[in-house]
Amino acid sequence: MTPDEKIALLRSVFAEFARTGTPQVLIDNITEDAVYKVSVGPGTPVSGDFVGREGITGYFRDLPTIIEHLGLNIYDYLANDNRVVVLGDQTLRTKKGGVVFFSEWAAVFTFRGDKICHFLSIENVGALSNVYGAPPASPPAHAPTSTQGPISIPGLISPPGPTSTRGPTSSRGPSSTRGPNSSPTPAAA
C-alpha cells in the first residue's frame, strides 16, 4: 500500500466516523493484534491500551457514554511508507459533568502491510481526566532517556550545558507525502 493509498483509507475512516459515529472502516482495516491508545493518564474510561478487534470495538462502543463529539475537523494527512499522521481538532462534551472542551490533536497510525497495527491519539484531554478525578499523565516507567544530551536548534535558546553540533532534523524524508488539506468535517452524529 502506497502512502497515498494509506491516506485514502484514513480519509474514508474519518468520513465514516463523522457521518455515522461508527468505526467500521477502521475495524475492517486493523491487524488482529492492533493497539489503540489515547494520550490520557490512568483513571479514565479511555485510559490504557485497547487491543485487538474486540478491545478497539469496545472502546468505540463505550465512547458515546463518555463523551459527545460536538465538532470534528481534519486539517492534514502526512504519510510515509509505514505511518500516517492525521492533524485535526475537536470540540467534546463529557457525559459526566457536561464539561465542554476543545482539543487539537495528532493521530499517528502505524501500518503493518496493508493493515493498521497501532494507533496513538495525541491530544489534550485533561478536562476528561479532571472530570474523573484522575491524576495527570506521567511518562511510563519504560520511557527511553536520551544519552546524546540536549540538541541545539538554530534560532531557539540553547539549553544550559553542552550543546550538540548537529543541525536541525526532520522526520519527513523524501518518502513523505503531504495530502491536500481537507475541508472541515461535520460533527459526528
All structural domains of the chain: 3-136+174-178 (3.10.450.50)
Q: What's the CA angle centered on 108, arms 142 and 26, to 5 degrees?
A: 115
1/120 Cα distance (integer angstroms): 20
The predicted model gives 10-25 an average pLDDT of 91
Distances, alpha carbon 99 to alpha carbons 69, 86, 147, in Å: 12, 25, 41
Instruction: Name the nearest CA neighbour of 18 among 73, 94, 57, 75.
Output: 73
58/163 Cα distance (integer angstroms): 47
The predicted model gives 153-169 an average pLDDT of 42
Sheet of 177-178, strands arranged across = 49-51, 30-38, 115-123, 100-112, 83-94, 67-79, 177-178
Q: Which residue has the higher pLDDT, 126 or 138?
A: 126
Position 171 scores a pLDDT of: 35
Does residue 114 register a pLDDT over 80? yes
pTM of the complete model beyond 0.85: no
Position 128 scores a pLDDT of: 87
| 63-77 exposure pattern, b = at least 16 Cβ within 10 A, e = fewer | beebbbbeebbbeeb
Instruction: Name the nearest CA neighbour of 23 among 51, 61, 64.
Output: 61
Question: End-to-end alpha-carbon separation of the chain, Å?
Answer: 31
